[in-house]
Chains A and B, each alone.
Chain A
Amino acid sequence: MKESAQKVARHFLIELLMYAVLVSIYFALVLRFLGSWLDWLFRDHRDYYAAVSILIMLGQAVGLERVLALFSHIARGGKK
């Protein structure tokens, strides 16, 4: 069933705020701890770099989707 556009916008803004905080922490951690290791893989082990890159991206996609689903659930006050 269609939700009203106003309701969608309100839920989305709440989700976005929670998400912005999480993403800022995530940026700091990933760029600080993974940056030099991935750079080393890129320079010296290109095949491993390719495999690791796609796995990290898939992991991040699935992980963020779950986090967003949780935030959406919270923003709607626990309703489906």
Chain B
Amino acid sequence: MFFPISGVHINPFLLGILGFVIGVLAGFFGVGGSFLSGPSLFALGMPYNFVVGTDLIHIVGKSIVAARQHRTLGNIDLKLAGVMVIGTIVGSETGVQAIEGLKRSGEVNLVVGLTAIIIFTAISLFAGWESWQALRQSRRAGANPSGSRRDVLAFDKVAKAFQGFAWAPRIRLDQSGIAAISIWSIILVSYVGGFFSGFLGGGAGYIRMPAMVYLLGVPTHVAVGTDLFEIIISAGYGSIRHAMNGNVDILVALVMHTGAAVGAQLGARLTQYFSGPWIRLAFAPLPLLGGILIAVGLTTGHHH
């Protein structure tokens, strides 16, 4: 079927199925799923500037459904999300401007594609290694990782060091179990996430969610829910900016979202059956898959 806004031919049922798979991942891992949906749209022939904007607006719709599920489960830290929005919006605007600069230079597909491959591969390797270490730690401690929701982090010391930054103001995050943390640590993490959201598309939960867990020390289940809530606001802002710049095909986004809405509900329900390290270990190979899809898109010659 022809989508006139972006000028691409894509089977709408394929988009619906893609949306469903991404929705399950979003609900389960608390990430927007852009590390797969973006590369998939790119591999289907959509130009990267449309991939970025379209993916972002579809994530807004999907995150609302998943975040409401997580709110019911008590997995959202509203105070943390409120602070993160500041850094994310500023970072997102920086990323949008970077895309506009690359559009003018005509190198947007190559530069964004290569950046995404490097970032996704690094995240996969790190998340796989860390969660494996955490599972080994919990086994040594005699815990049953598959049955327990108790969170074990291989990077516990890093999180404690990050929480130790004394720059005022410092806030207490009851929902996340953090006694005191500098507001600037939170803004820094969210700024980096926001930049990659604007630059690579999607909500950048693939960066923000691990950063919340490993750097800020937020429990995985709360990081998943809070990230989704924060994505609604930050991706909403990014979507409007990208739509104004002509980077959004709303018809493609609407079709994808019909699948994502139902998938997100399933994913959120599944989180109650797994502990934090298992969720992170299952997440590990997915960004790498996204990197491979982008490499396919760059080498098959769809994009000029």
Q: Is the interface of A mostly helix, strand, loop or mixed?
A: helix
Contacts of A50 in B (CB 8 A): 239-240, 243-244, 248
Contacts of B5 in A (CB 8 A): 38-39, 42
Name the contact of A34 in the complex, choosing from B243, B248, B251 (C-beta under 8 A). B251
Q: Could you say which of A30, A46, A57, A64 has the most chain B C-beta atoms within 10 Å of its C-beta?
A: A57
Q: Is the interface of B mostly helix, strand, loop or mixed?
A: helix
CA distance A72 to B65 in the complex (A): 14
Residue contact B243 to A62, C-beta cutoff 8 Å = no
From known contacts A31-B12, A57-B58, infer whether A38 and B251 are also in contact, taking CB-CB under 8 Å: yes
Check B261 for interface membership: any CB of A closer than 8 A: yes
Name the contact of B269 in the complex, choosing from A8, A31, A35, A56 (C-beta under 8 A). A8
Tell which of B129-137, B196-204, B252-260 binds the partner.
Answer: B252-260
Residue contact A53 to B250, C-beta cutoff 8 Å = yes
Residue contact A65 to B254, C-beta cutoff 8 Å = no
Q: Compute the total of residue contacts between A and B using a CB distance below 8 Å.
A: 102
Residue contact A53 to B272, C-beta cutoff 8 Å = no
Contacts of B58 in A (CB 8 A): 57
27 contacts between A and B (CB under 8 A): A16-B262, A26-B258, A27-B12, A30-B255, A31-B12, A31-B251, A35-B4, A35-B251, A38-B250, A42-B5, A46-B246, A49-B243, A49-B248, A50-B240, A53-B243, A54-B57, A54-B239, A57-B60, A57-B253, A58-B61, A60-B61, A60-B257, A61-B60, A61-B64, A64-B261, A65-B64, A68-B65
Q: Which of B's residues lie within 8 Å of A, judged by CB?
A: 1, 4-5, 12, 16, 57-58, 60-62, 64-65, 68, 236, 239-240, 243-244, 246, 248, 250-251, 253-255, 257-259, 261-262, 265-266, 269, 272-273
For the complex of A and B, list the 6 residue pairs with the smallest distance between their C-beta atoms, beginning with the closest.
Answer: A50-B243, A61-B61, A64-B261, A53-B250, A61-B64, A39-B4
